């Protein structure tokens, strides 16, 4: 069995096109990389090495189940009643990452010098030169859209790194959904437990629907994966290996243009 060292992974990252000073949003599957000497933390440190000096890592970390569920219609009235009575105040700095996002999100959140945005379901974590700028003033409503870390990632000409990850889980495409002009986008309204004057208060929030059923009735199953795969094909982005993991680096600006066009066309179609 081969164990990958930090230096080997750094070489792979640079070979994939990452450079010092890059701002990178990471989506990753630890298992896909293979065995790493020193454990999964070394994957993140190798990535950091590859974009240093001046680089920044961004990850979507979200929240544990229950903090952003009230009002979405996914729970029974009895379950919502339980959470309304028992769910603790959400702490932006210490709350665990969403387990569905993979172990690396929580590992990154808890590493030294990583900071998190003041959001709940759309909470993000970052470390590096642009971390504070990316996460500052994360909007309360429509928190994947204008003014969000994703919006700032685009402005910084940031990159997306898919490290053996599911192509249907590219968070940046929620930003595209938020800002495109198509009719009948679904809106999600829900409540989160925050602290105000030492007390727990359930605060109402609103965003375009980011759940699995999509923001629009015309979105096909695994629409994000279809967009990413067709974009990679159209740009002849064949990717490469990070350890054992099939990986790709994607520039946000070209993806924004491509995905906007695909989504707008899909949103304007009349279903038979």
Across the range 101-127, mean pLDDT stands at 97
Across the range 181-206, mean pLDDT stands at 96
| In the chain, domain spans | 6-268
Can you name the residues that pair with 240 across neighbouring β-strands?
Answer: 247
Residues in the chain: 272
- Which residues, at least 6 apart from 166, have a Cβ–Cβ distance to it below 8 Å? 27, 29, 225
Over residues 226-259, the pLDDT tens digits come to 999 999 999 999 999 999 999 999 999 999 999 9
Q: What is the pLDDT of residue 71?
A: 95
SS3 of 128, please? Answer: strand
User: CA–CA separation, 188 vs 152, rounded Å?
Assistant: 23
Q: What is the pLDDT of residue 212?
A: 87
* Other C-beta atoms lying within 10 Å of the C-beta of residue 11: 15
| Among 85, 92, 169, residue whose Cα is nearest residue 125 | 92
Task: Name the average pLDDT for the chain.
Answer: 96
Over residues 203-225, the pLDDT tens digits come to 999 999 999 889 999 999 999 99
Structure tokens at 264: 């707008």
Local confidence band at 271 (pLDDT 50, 70, 90 cut-offs): very low
Q: What is the pLDDT of residue 85?
A: 97
Q: Which sign, positive or negative, has the C-alpha torsion 131, 133, 138, 142?
A: negative
Are 214 and 184 a contacting pair, CB within 8 Å? no
User: CA–CA separation, 215 vs 61, rounded Å?
Assistant: 21
Across the range 38-65, mean pLDDT stands at 98
Q: What is the pLDDT of residue 171?
A: 98
Q: What is the pLDDT of residue 270?
A: 61
Are 48 and 127 a contacting pair, CB within 8 Å? yes
Does the bond joining 53 to the residue before it have cis omega, within 30 degrees of 0?
Answer: yes
Q: Which sign, positive or negative, has the C-alpha torsion 204, 138, 122, 232?
A: positive
Structure tokens at 258: 């491509």
| Among 110, 107, 131, 123, residue whose Cα is nearest residue 58 | 131
User: CA–CA separation, 165 vs 204, rounded Å?
Assistant: 32
**Share of residues in the chain with pLDDT > 70 (%):** 99
C-alpha to C-alpha distances, 27 to 77, 80, 190, 205, nearest whole angstrom? 34, 31, 26, 26
- Which residues, at least 6 apart from 137, have a Cβ–Cβ distance to it below 8 Å? 147
Alpha helices in 51-102 (DSSP H): 77-86
Q: What is the pLDDT of residue 269?
A: 82
User: CA–CA separation, 11 vs 242, rounded Å?
Assistant: 9
Across the range 179-205, mean pLDDT stands at 96
SS3 of 253, please? Answer: helix
């Amino acid at each position: 069995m081969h164990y990958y060292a930090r230096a080997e992974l750094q070489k792979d990252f640079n070979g994939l096109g990452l450079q010092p000073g890059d701002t990178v949003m990471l989506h990753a599957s630890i298992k896909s990389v293979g065995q790493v000497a020193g454990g999964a933390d070394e994957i993140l440190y190798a990535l950091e090495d590859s974009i240093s000096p001046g680089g920044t890592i961004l990850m979507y970390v979200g929240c544990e189940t229950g903090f952003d569920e009230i009002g979405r219609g996914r729970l029974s009235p009895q379950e919502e009643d339980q959470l309304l009575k028992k769910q603790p105040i959400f702490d932006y700095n210490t709350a665990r990452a969403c387990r569905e996002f993979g172990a690396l999100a929580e590992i990154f959140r808890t590493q030294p010098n990583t900071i998190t945005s003041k959001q709940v379901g759309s909470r993000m974590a970052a470390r590096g030169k642009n971390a504070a700028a990316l996460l500052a003033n994360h909007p309360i409503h429509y928190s994947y859209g204008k003014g969000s870390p994703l919006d700032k990632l685009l402005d910084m000409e940031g990159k997306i790194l898919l490290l053996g990850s599911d192509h249907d889980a590219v968070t940046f495409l929620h930003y595209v959904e938020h800002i495109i002009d198509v009719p009948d986008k679904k809106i999600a309204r829900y409540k989160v437990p925050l602290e105000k004057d030492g007390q727990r208060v359930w605060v109402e929030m609103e965003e375009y629907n980011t759940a699995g059923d999509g923001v629009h009735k015309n979105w096909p199953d695994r629409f994000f994966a279809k967009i990413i795969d067709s974009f990679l094909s159209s740009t002849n982005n064949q990717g490469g290996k990070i350890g054992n993991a099939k990986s790709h680096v994607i520039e946000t600006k070209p993806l924004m243009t491509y995905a906007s066009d695909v989504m707008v066309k899909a949103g304007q179609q009349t279903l038979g």
